[in-house]
Structure 1
Amino acid sequence: MTTRFQSAVPALALAAALGSALAMNIAPAQAGEKGAAQEKCYGVALAGKNDCAAGPGTTCAGTAKTDHQANAWKHVPAGTCTKTTSKTSPTGYGQLAAFEAKTAKSS
């Protein structure tokens, strides 16, 4: 019984080492994909889904009080912000800076 256990230990150690090496190779690629071609887009985040430091009334990620809050931003792929719909933006699309929200029109 000890012989089986002794031969299993090196195999488990090798599997753990390979798993760690593979995990280290994957993590930098994922981080680079998210940060490399992203921009802050104001007015497109949904309530509670904004990224960090959104302005007055928010402290960090997930603190936007309303959908499309004018001072709350979300990371989006570069070049897509001003093409993304925003119900509060004067242009109707996301903005690259915080803005004064337009007032809702009555029907």
Structure 2
Amino acid sequence: MTATKTATKTLALLPIAGALAGALTLMAGPAAAQSNMEKCYGIAKPGENGCAHAKGLHSCAGNTSLTYDGGDWKLVKAGTCATEMGSLKPFDGANPKKKG
């Protein structure tokens, strides 16, 4: 194989390699970023919840209209939920530890 053919094949494979590397980075990114995070219930203000309500009142991030509801969670740095006055488990009603 000539140097020109080798260079042409290499150049043809670069976009594929770049796309694969980008996809792998995206897949690893959120998991790595969340490995030191935990769900903290009862600390989210309206529109700040991380995802679905524990009892299915809504199914998407940012959809809560309640303040400090025990079924809504927010991601916080691992070990900080207690200092945020939240709970690591969902509970009924509003968070009695928070005013708002």
**TM score, norm. by length of structure 1:** 0.60
Any idea what the Cα deviations from partners look like across 1:30-85, whole Å, max 9, x if unmatched? 1321342332201222212212331457222222112322321122222111112x
Aligned to 2:5: none
Aligned to 2:73: 73
Q: Distance in 2 between matches of 1:104 and 1:23?
A: 42
Identity %: 31
| Cα distance in 2 between the residues matched to 1:95 and 1:103 | 10
Cα gap change, 1:103/1:57 in structure 2, threshold over 3 Å: closer, same or farther?
farther
Contact 1:57 1:64 in 2 (8 A): no
TM-score by length of 2: 0.63
Aligned residue pair count: 90
Q: Is the 8 A contact 1:51 1:60 kept in 2?
A: no
Structure 1 portions without partners, runs of 5+:
1-7, 85-92
Aligned-CA RMSD value: 3.2
Equivalent position of 1:38 in the other structure? 37
Q: 1:57 to 1:64 in 2, by over 3 A?
A: farther
Against the structure 1 CA distance between its residues 40 and 24, is the aligned structure 2 distance closer, same or farther, given a 3 Å change threshold? same
User: After TM superposition, what 4+ stretches of structure 1 lie above 6 angstroms from structure 2?
Assistant: none
